[in-house]
Chains A and B, each alone.
Chain A
Amino acid sequence: MVKRLFFWTTFGLVLLVVSVIVSLSVGSAHIPLHETWRVILQQVPWIGQMIETDWTESTEQILLQVRAPRVLLALLVGAALALAGTGFQGVLRNPLAEPYTLGVASGSAVGALVVILLGLQYAWSGSWTIPLAAFLTGLLTLWLVIILSRQQSKLKIETLILAGVVIQAFFGSVVSFLVSISRNSMNEMIFWLMGSLSLKGWSYSFIILPYLVFGFIILLLMGRELNLFSLGERQAMHLGVNIERTKLVVLIICTLLTAAAVSVAGIISFVGLVIPHILRLMVGSDYRILIPLSVIFGAIYVLWADTLSRMLLDPQVIPLGVITSILGAPFFAWLLIQNKRGAAS
C-alpha cells in the first residue's frame, strides 16, 4: 500500500509541476518554457537568489499577476471537486454519485443567479457577494436534503440520493426560470453556470484553500472507514465503524468542498464524477490511496481543461465545464475499454 501510494504520489506531483509550468507559459503572449520555470523558481525562498533576472518586466507581470492566480485557482477547484467526488462515492457507495448528486450545485446556482439577476454583484461585500451567496444557498441545500432523508436519527443512503435528486430537480427548474426571465444578464448567468476561472484574482483562491486543507486532512484520516464502508454498512458497523457519524461527517465535508468550489468557479461538471473512477481503474479502490491522488489528479485535470479553454479558440474562451466533459468522457470510455480487455484476457 505504502509503495503504491509513494509511486503514484511522486508521479502525480511531477506531472503537476510540469503541467503548471507548461500552462503558465502558454497563452496569447507565449513565454518560453525556460524563462517560465526560472521566473517561478525565483519566487522560491533560498533558491530564488541564485537566479538572475534576464527577462522583461512584462513577462514577469503576465506570469505572476495574470496567469499564476488563475492556475492556482484551477488547481484548487479541481482538487476540491475530485476530493468531494471521491468522498461522496465512498459514503454513498454508488458509482453515479458525484459532488452535485445531493443538489448542492443547483442550490449554489440559485444563490449566485439571484444576485446576478438583481444586479447586486458588488453590493454588500464587493466581489465576494456572488461566492458568498452561492456558498450559503449550497449549505442550505444540504441541510434540506438531510432533513428530508433523516429517519429516527439515521441517514438511509437510498433516501438520501432520492432527496438529492428531488432537490436538484427543484432548484434546477428555479435556475432555468431565473435564466429565462433575465434579459440583460443572461450571458453572465450562462457563463457562470458552465464554469469559469477567468478574471479571478488571488483572493478567490483563499476562499477555497482552507476548506481544501481541512477537508483533505479529515478525509485522509477516514480512509480506512471508507474502505470498510465498501463492504457494506452492516459489515462496517460490525467491524467497529460508527457509520452514522462517518456518513454525516463525510457528507458535510464534501458538501463544504463542493460549495466552496462552485461558489468561486461556477458549475464545472464531470471532474468529481470521473476523476475518482479513473483513479480506481488505475490504482484500485483503496481510499487511503484514492484520497491523496484525487487531490493531485483533480488539480491536474482542471488545470489542463482551463488551459485548453483559453487556448483552443483564442481569443474566445470556451466555458470550462464544456471542456471538462468533452475531454473527460472519451478518456473515460477508453479506460473502460482497456479494462474490459484486461479482464477478458
Chain B
Amino acid sequence: MNVNVQDLRKLYGNQAVLDGVQFAVRPGECFGIIGPNGSGKSTLLKMLSGVERADSGHVHLNGVDIAKMKTKQIARKIAVLLQEALSPVDYSVRDVIEMGRYPHQNWWGIDDTECTSLIADISYKLCLEHLLHRAVSTLSGGERQRVAIAKAMAQQPDLLLLDEPTTFLDIGYQMQMMDMVRNWQVEQGITVITVLHDLNLAAQYCDRILILNQGKQIALGTPAEVISDHLIESVYGTRPIILEHPVSALPQILLQPGALPLQ
C-alpha cells in the first residue's frame, strides 16, 4: 500500500506536537519511526491509523484521504498492534483471532470469506494451534503478543502499524515478534510502519527510518544514513558508539555511560 503523508500538523492547545511531517512509504516497505520520548511518534501513528485528525495536512492511503474513510473501511486496510498487547480477557484464543474478521463481516456477522481455514492457517504459522481453546487471560505475555499478531493477520490488512511492539517483551520474544512480522511482510507483501524505541532493532528490521524530535522531522533515510553518532547525540542528548554489525553490516549502537553533554 502507498502511504503518503503531506505536511502534517497537529496541535494540542497551542502546542504543535507534530509540524511539517512529510514522507511517502512504498508498498511492501518496512518503515521505522524513532525519536525520544515526547517527540510525537505515537501521535503520528495515531494519525496514520485515523484515530486522530490532523489540524492541517493529509494522510493518503493509496490516494484516498484517510479523513474521508469510515472506521470500518480503515480497519479493512490497516491493522494496528499496540504495545500493551491484549488485555487478559477470558475469551478463547480462537474467539480473539476471529475478532480480527470483524471489519470483513456484515451487519449480521456473516463473513465475506470463509474464515475457518484462514484461522487454521494463521494459528499453524504462529504455533498457536495447541492454545486455540485456552482463555487469553491464562497465557504468558509472549503468547498473548502472538495472539495479537494472529488477530491482526486475520484482519488481512495491506498496512500494518506497530506501536513500540517490543516494549514489554524479553529479547527472545522481541526477536520472535519482529521475525514473525518480517515473515508476514515478505510473504504477503504488506507494508509495515513501526514505531520503535530500540534503535538496534530499528536498524536491523527497517528499510528506511524517520527520526522525529519535538514534532519535527529530523532525518529520513536508510539505517546506514540516519544512525550516526552526531545525529543520535543531537536528538537523544547522549553520545553513543556506532559499530557495524558483524553479520548484516548494519549500524548498531553501544551506549556509553557518562557521555551526557550537560549544557
Are A and B bound to each other? yes
Question: Which residues of A are at the interface with B, using a C-beta cutoff of 8 A?
Answer: 1, 221, 224, 227-228, 230-232, 234-235, 237-243, 284-286, 288
Whose C-beta in chain A lies nearest to the C-beta of B151? Answer: A239
| Distance of A232 Cα from B91 Cα, bound (Å) | 13
Within 8 Å of chain A (Cβ to Cβ): is B70?
Answer: yes
- B99 and A234 contacting across the interface, CB-CB below 8 Å: no
Question: In chain B, residues 88-130, which have Cβ atoms closer than 8 Å to a Cβ of chain A?
Answer: 89-91, 95-96, 99-100, 102-103, 105, 107-109
The interface residues of chain B lying within 8 Å CB-to-CB of A231 are 86-87, 89, 96, 99
| Distance of A231 Cα from B90 Cα, bound (Å) | 10
With A238-B79, A286-B95 as known contacts, state yes or no: A230 contacts B89, CB within 8 Å: yes
| Distance of A221 Cα from B106 Cα, bound (Å) | 11
- B89 and A241 contacting across the interface, CB-CB below 8 Å: no
Whose C-beta in chain B lies nearest to the C-beta of A225? Answer: B102
The interface residues of chain B lying within 8 Å CB-to-CB of A285 are 89-91
With A224-B102, A224-B109 as known contacts, state yes or no: A238 contacts B49, CB within 8 Å: yes
| Distance of A240 Cα from B104 Cα, bound (Å) | 9
Besides A1-B95, A230-B87, A240-B103, 20 other A-B contacts (C-beta < 8 A): A221-B107, A227-B95, A228-B99, A231-B89, A231-B96, A234-B51, A235-B82, A235-B87, A237-B71, A238-B51, A238-B79, A239-B75, A239-B100, A240-B73, A241-B71, A242-B71, A243-B71, A284-B91, A285-B90, A288-B109
Whose C-beta in chain A lies nearest to the C-beta of B79? Answer: A238
| Distance of A305 Cα from B139 Cα, bound (Å) | 40
Within 8 Å of chain A (Cβ to Cβ): is B80?
Answer: yes
Contact residues on B (Cβ < 8 Å of other chain), bracket: 20 to 34
Q: Could you pull out 27 A-B pairs where Cβ atoms are within 8 angstroms? A: A224-B99, A224-B102, A228-B102, A230-B87, A230-B89, A231-B89, A231-B99, A232-B87, A234-B51, A237-B51, A238-B49, A238-B51, A238-B78, A238-B82, A239-B99, A239-B100, A239-B102, A240-B72, A240-B73, A240-B74, A240-B75, A241-B72, A241-B102, A284-B91, A285-B91, A286-B95, A288-B109
Instruction: Tell me how many residue pairs across A and B have CB atoms closer than 8 Å.
Output: 64
- Give A162 Cβ to nearest chain B Cβ, in Å: 22
Whose C-beta in chain A lies nearest to the C-beta of B81? Answer: A238
The interface residues of chain B lying within 8 Å CB-to-CB of A242 are 70-72
B87, B91, B108: the one contacting A227 at CB < 8 Å is: B91
The interface residues of chain A lying within 8 Å CB-to-CB of B194 are none
The interface residues of chain A lying within 8 Å CB-to-CB of B51 are 234, 237-238
| Distance of A208 Cα from B73 Cα, bound (Å) | 37
Within 8 Å of chain A (Cβ to Cβ): is B145?
Answer: no
Within 8 Å of chain A (Cβ to Cβ): is B134?
Answer: no
The interface residues of chain A lying within 8 Å CB-to-CB of B72 are 240-242
The interface residues of chain A lying within 8 Å CB-to-CB of B91 are 227, 230, 284-286
- A284 and B90 contacting across the interface, CB-CB below 8 Å: yes
For B53-86 the 0/1 string (1 means CB < 8 A from A) is 0000000000000000011111110111010001
| Distance of A285 Cα from B136 Cα, bound (Å) | 12
The interface residues of chain A lying within 8 Å CB-to-CB of B89 are 230-231, 285
Whose C-beta in chain A lies nearest to the C-beta of B86? Answer: A231
The interface residues of chain A lying within 8 Å CB-to-CB of B82 are 234-235, 238
